[in-house]
């Protein structure tokens, strides 16, 4: 039998490799990859961000230079400033994160600064999201939000039919009704009970999981829910993005 | 691997490490204030109100009326102003509404006479809690006189 020189990846070997990965290096590279693969900004901002992301990935010496990340903070910040009233939340988060990386690379304790900011940014983002749903929104807790969005946002169409029990025709009728199109029959189309229960379930689940993620990430490490923070965040990702992939925020 | 200092000083979190988080909190609180006081869409502005309410900027619509002597004419918004329209729907501030009105001054109409004013109405959509029947709700309106100093 021929003897090969190929390296075999046993589970133990893989675990040792994972444990040996520099978390800071990985976080920075993943951030640059995000900047590279998503169309960030408009006009002159976009090619500048792309160029810096490419340079940071190709040149190891540049990756951990504060100047690179200060430049990215400025550019992602400009993108937010120019479009502040229409920019999505993840545009703001990206700017905050580049700012955090800049500060970390200028500090002793790069990994502690980054992990602190990662934890707090996630925690506060989810906290505000939960506050909006629980306190500020006039049409969330009664289920109206999910009823309307499942009918009008085409990303939910498959899910609304599969889990909500809507036929394609009923979905089209309900969508037309909610969007203010004239209704042919004398009575408006009726949402089935299963759809209403689904909307209410999603309403409650979303606010619970977002609140739990906020508590877990804002609690000091080792306290209470903090031990479950990664599990809760992954749970949020699974239950949200399996239904509708909001890539930017993800 | 990054080397961390072993002294207590090196292990302390620095106050400036909290600046990104402070920025997030400050911007989010400001966004909440703008949504309550200036009709900013909760989906915008960095406050994490997205997916909490049906009042996204996409669910708002604009109505523009040109006023000439004896004539009120509703205007069709040119596609070229799509980006401006988007901003006005998301944040119908007085400045944004005025800029929008000025961008429509030259919009063609079949009417004669000098353009006296442009009126802009920003509508949101409310949905009945039981039937989801949509009802328009006036968020803001502004009358912009044209040609006055």
Measuring CA to CA, which residue among B121, B120, B112, B123 is closest to residue B145? B120
CA dist., res. A213 & res. A230, Å (int): 9
Residues of B in Cβ contact (< 8 Å) with A103: 16-17, 19-20
- Which one-letter DSSP state was computed for residue B76? P
- Give the rounded percent of residues in chain A with a pLDDT score beyond 90: 68
Comparing C-alpha atoms, which of B35, B41, B24, B17 is closest to residue A128? B24
Q: Check residue A185 and give its pLDDT.
A: 65
Sheet containing B117-127: order of strands: B71-75, B61-68, B117-127, B134-145
State the number of CA atoms in the 13 A half-sphere of A217 facing the CB: 26
* Chain segment A140-183, per-residue pLDDT in tens: 999 999 999 999 998 899 999 999 999 999 999 999 999 988 76
Return phi, psi of residue B115, to 5°: -75, 120
B52: nearest Cα among A142, A4, A7: A142
- CA proximity to B117, closest of B98, B96, B81, B144: B144
- What confidence tens digit (pLDDT) does each residue in B82-91 have? 989 999 999 9
Q: Which candidate from A86, A125, A142 shows the least CB-CB separation from B44?
A: A86
Q: Do A100 and B11 touch (CB under 8 A)?
A: no
Q: Which residue of A has its CA nearest to B48?
A: A129
What mean pLDDT, rounded, does chain A reach?
89
Chosen from B10, B20, B84, B133 to mutate, greatest number of chain A CBs within 10 A = B20
Distance from CA of A108 to the nearest CA of B (A): 6
Matching residue, tokens 């302390």: B12
B48, B95, B126: which to substitute to probe chain A, counting the most A Cβ within 10 Å?
A: B48
Residue whose C-alpha is closest to residue B35's, from B132, B140, B134: B140
Calpha distance B26→B28 (Å, rounded): 5
Q: Is A55 on the interface with B (CB under 8 A)?
A: no
> Closest by alpha carbon to A236, among A248, A222, A250, A247?
A250
A96 touches chain B (CB under 8 A): yes
Alpha-carbon gap: B63 to the closest alpha carbon of chain A (Å)? 16
- CB of A168 within 8 Å of a chain B CB? The answer is no
d(CA A63, CA A52): 10
- Which helix or strand (DSSP H or E) is residue B106 part of? none
Residues in chain A, pLDDT under 50: 1-4
Residue A41: both structure tokens together: 């900004």
- Which candidate from B19, B28, B131 shows the least CB-CB separation from A103? B19
List of chain B residues with pLDDT < 70: 1-11, 148-149
Question: Cβ contact (<8 Å) for A144 and B129?
Answer: yes
Window A:100-139, CB contacts with B under 8 Å: 100, 103-104, 107-113, 116-117, 120-121, 124-126, 128-129, 132-133, 136-139
pTM, whole model, 2 decimals?
0.89
């Amino acid at each position: 039998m021929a003897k090969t020189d190929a390296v075999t990846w046993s589970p133990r070997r893989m675990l040792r490799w994972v444990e040996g990965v520099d978390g800071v290096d990985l976080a920075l590279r993943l951030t640059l990859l995000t900047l590279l693969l998503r169309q960030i900004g408009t006009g002159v901002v976009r090619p500048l961000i792309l160029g810096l992301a490419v340079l940071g990935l190709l040149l190891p010496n540049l990756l951990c230079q504060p100047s690179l990340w200060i430049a990215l903070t400025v550019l992602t910040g400009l993108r937010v400033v120019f479009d502040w009233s229409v920019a999505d939340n993840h545009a703001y988060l990206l700017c905050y994160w580049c700012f955090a990386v800049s500060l970390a690379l200028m500090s002793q304790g790069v990994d502690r600064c980054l992990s602190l900011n990662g934890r707090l940014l996630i925690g506060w983002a989810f906290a505000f999201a939960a506050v909006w749903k629980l306190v500020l929104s006039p049409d969330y807790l009664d289920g109206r939000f999910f009823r309307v969005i499942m009918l009008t946002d085409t990303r939910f169409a498959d899910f609304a039919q599969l889990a909500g029990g809507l036929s394609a025709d009923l979905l089209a009728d309900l969508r037309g009704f909610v969007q203010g199109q004239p209704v042919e029959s004398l009575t408006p189309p009726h949402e089935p009970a299963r759809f209403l229960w689904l909307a209410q379930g999603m309403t409650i689940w979303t606010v619970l999981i977002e609140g739990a993620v906020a508590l877990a990430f804002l609690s000091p490490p080792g306290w209470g829910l903090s031990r479950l923070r990664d599990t809760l965040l992954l749970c949020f990702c699974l239950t949200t993005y399996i239904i509708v992939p909001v890539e930017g925020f993800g | 691997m990054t080397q961390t200092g072993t002294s207590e000083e090196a292990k302390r979190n620095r106050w400036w490490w909290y600046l990104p988080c402070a920025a997030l909190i400050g911007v989010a609180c400001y966004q909440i204030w703008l949504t309550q006081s200036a009709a900013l869409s909760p989906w915008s502005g960095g406050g994490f109100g997205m997916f909490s309410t049906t009042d996204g900027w996409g669910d708002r619509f604009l109505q523009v009326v040109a006023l000439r002597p004896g004539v009120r004419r509703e205007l069709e918004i040119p596609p070229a102003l799509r980006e401006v329209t988007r901003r006005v729907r998301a944040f119908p501030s007085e400045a944004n509404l005025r800029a929008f009105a000025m961008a429509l001054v030259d919009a063609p109409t079949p009417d004669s006479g000098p353009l006296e004013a442009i009126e802009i109405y920003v509508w949101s959509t409310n949905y009945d809690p039981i039937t989801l029947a949509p009802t328009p709700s006036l968020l803001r309106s502004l009358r912009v006189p044209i040609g006055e100093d």
